[in-house]
Amino acid sequence: MTQVQQQTQAGPEEVAAAEQAPNPLVTMVKPLALDIAVPLGSYYLLHDGFGLGLVPSLMLSSIVPAIRTVAGAARDRSFNGLAGIMLAVNLVGIVLSFVTGDARLMIVKDSALSSVVGILTVIAAAAGKPLMSAGLKPFMTKGKAANVRAWDRLEAAVDPRFRRAELLFSKIWGLSLLTECVARIVLAFILPVSTMVWLSTVLLIGSIVLASVVGSIATNPIERMIEDEAGKENAASDDAAVRRTAPDAANQANHSGQSTRPGLLS
C-alpha cells in the first residue's frame, strides 16, 4: 500500500514539472522572431527614419544578429555550428556589400544559410540520417517524460515506420528551405531592394508555414506511434503495480481471518 501511495503522490509532482517545462514553440520562435523583427525594424528606422542609404542601413541592421550570435556563444561557452554559419554569412555579406556597394548582396546573403541547411538536410535524409529530428522531438513529446521515453525507444529500436516518418519530415523541411533560397535569389535581382527587404521575411515565414503544413503527413503518424508506445509503458506499469499490491492484499485478508477466529471459538 505504501508503494501505491508514493506513486499517487508523485503524480502531481510530475504534472507540475511538465507544466514548468518551457514551451518548445516559444523556445524556437523567440530567437527566430528576434533575428527577423530586430533587423527589419532597424532597417526601416535607419533608412526611412534617419535617411541612411540602402547599403549602410542593411549593413547596420545585420550587425544585431551577429552580436547576438557571439553573445550567445560566449554565454553558453559552446560553439553552435548553425550559429557559426549564420555569423559567417552575415560578416561576408557586410564585407561584400561594403566593397561592391551593391545592396542586393545583403539580400542574397540570407539565402546562403537556407541553402546550406537545406542541402545538408536533404543529403543527410537520403543517407538515412534525419537531421530535423532534434528540433521535432520537443514538439512531438510535448514535455512529457513518458512521451520522451517512447520516442527514445522507437528511435533505439530503429522502428521502420518511425524512421521513414523522420526522414520524410527532414526531406520536406530541406526542400522547403531550398525553394525559399532559390526564390529569394531570383527575386533579389528582379524586384527593387526596398521591396525585397520585407518580402524576404515573407518568403522565410511562408517556407516555415509550408513545411509545417506539408510536414504533418509525417508528424501525424509519429504522434500516433508515440502515443501507442507510451500507452504500452503505462499498461505495463499498471500490471506491475497490481502484481506488487496483490500479495499485500492477500496477507491482509489472511491476517483479518486469523484475528476473528479467537472470537468465534470463545
pLDDT at 164: 95
- State the DSSP code for 101: -
User: Range with the lowest mean pLDDT among 167-176, 193-202, 209-218?
Assistant: 193-202
In this prediction, residue 191 has a pLDDT band, given cuts at 50, 70 and 90, of very high
If one compares 264 and 255, the residue with the highest pLDDT of the two is: 255
Does residue 165 carry a pLDDT above 80?
A: yes
Does residue 151 carry a pLDDT above 50?
A: yes
| Identity of the residue numbered 62 | S
pLDDT at 31: 62
Does residue 106 carry a pLDDT above 90?
A: no
Provide the Cα torsion 29, 24, 113, 222; round to 10°.
-130
For residue 31, give the nearest of 78, 86, 74 by alpha carbon. Answer: 86
Does residue 39 carry a pLDDT above 80?
A: no
pLDDT at 7: 39
Prediction pTM value: 0.68
CA distance 132 to 109: 23
In this prediction, residue 109 has a pLDDT band, given cuts at 50, 70 and 90, of confident
Q: By three-state DSSP, how is residue 190 classified? A: coil
